[in-house]
Chains A and B, each alone.
Chain A
């Protein structure tokens, strides 16, 4: 019966806009070190990122929760998951991290996406025949 009633009502145009509805953002970053033979474990890397957050955003920034999902020790490439609100904070602190144990270093942010699946491929290094 209800559905009949609904049919009589004129269709109402409804527009739904959602901006940044996804709860998390995913980042693919790689660490470039001056001395390429230096190895970092996943724990050291996370600790390093947290110290960067702490120096730029203080104790509040250090409390920002982010996860190291996957880490490749050979290429120093990591996948980070961070809540959308903390993305800018994390990104800016990564940018300003310049030294790891007195040697120059830099984080290269390779890809950022609200969907983890999007990080499986990179359109920038596709080999087109």
Chain B
């Protein structure tokens, strides 16, 4: 069996004002990436980007983006990502930058990484809680959202992460 191989880049969108993150949509992110690749790598890069590039997943609450690139040229396209300084959506410019967390061959490995990464972040944040009450609140929020079905659980953990901040 043969399949067409891709690379999935798991990136986080860093913004100064987190409320503006909710304005993002996947089309805006895709357009921005395409425009930046065209600027940095010209027609050649734009052509590479037009074949199998897509934004697979966007979580506006936590600012996590999955980008799919063809495996053949993902390094070239990846090199253009640091040049993204703002994303334009609905007539507004959101100043931000993309930070690549993980590169995976399948969505599954990326998801596994994301779950592990978020648990790690949570462990880092828990000691920073100011009092016991806050800690309990966070724990409760996590316990509330453990439901059968991996993906759902993941997203909810992500959201509880957010609340704490």
Which chain A residues have a beta carbon within 8 Å of chain B's beta carbons? 54-61
In Å, the complex CA distance between A61 and B38 comes to: 12
Interface string of B137-151 (1 = CB under 8 A from A): 000000000000000
Residue B105 lies at the interface, judged by CB distance under 8 Å to chain A: no
28 example contacts (A-B, Cβ-Cβ < 8 A) are as follows A54-B42, A55-B42, A55-B43, A56-B42, A56-B43, A56-B44, A57-B41, A57-B42, A57-B43, A57-B44, A57-B45, A58-B38, A58-B39, A58-B40, A58-B41, A58-B42, A58-B43, A58-B44, A58-B45, A59-B39, A59-B40, A59-B42, A60-B40, A60-B41, A60-B42, A60-B79, A61-B41, A61-B42
* A54 CB to nearest B CB, Å: 7
Closest to A58 in B: B42
Q: Given A54-B42, A56-B42, A59-B39, 12 more contacts at CB 8 Å?
A: A55-B42, A57-B41, A57-B42, A57-B43, A57-B45, A58-B38, A58-B42, A58-B44, A59-B42, A60-B41, A61-B41, A61-B42
* A91 CB to nearest B CB, Å: 13
- CB neighbours (8 Å) of B45 from chain A are 57-58
- CB neighbours (8 Å) of A55 from chain B are 42-43
In Å, the complex CA distance between A60 and B45 comes to: 10
In Å, the complex CA distance between A74 and B49 comes to: 42
- CB neighbours (8 Å) of A56 from chain B are 42-44
* A45 CB to nearest B CB, Å: 20
Most chain B CB within a 10 A radius of its CB, from A54, A58, A59: A58
- CB neighbours (8 Å) of A59 from chain B are 39-40, 42
- CB neighbours (8 Å) of A54 from chain B are 42
- CB neighbours (8 Å) of B43 from chain A are 55-58
- CB neighbours (8 Å) of B39 from chain A are 58-59
Closest to B76 in A: A60
Closest to A92 in B: B44
Interface string of B37-62 (1 = CB under 8 A from A): 01111111100000000000000000
- CB neighbours (8 Å) of B40 from chain A are 58-60
In Å, the complex CA distance between A56 and B41 comes to: 7
* B75 CB to nearest A CB, Å: 12
* B82 CB to nearest A CB, Å: 12
In Å, the complex CA distance between A54 and B41 comes to: 8
Closest to A52 in B: B42
In Å, the complex CA distance between A18 and B79 comes to: 30
- CB neighbours (8 Å) of B42 from chain A are 54-61
Closest to B43 in A: A56
In Å, the complex CA distance between A58 and B37 comes to: 8
In Å, the complex CA distance between A50 and B76 comes to: 20
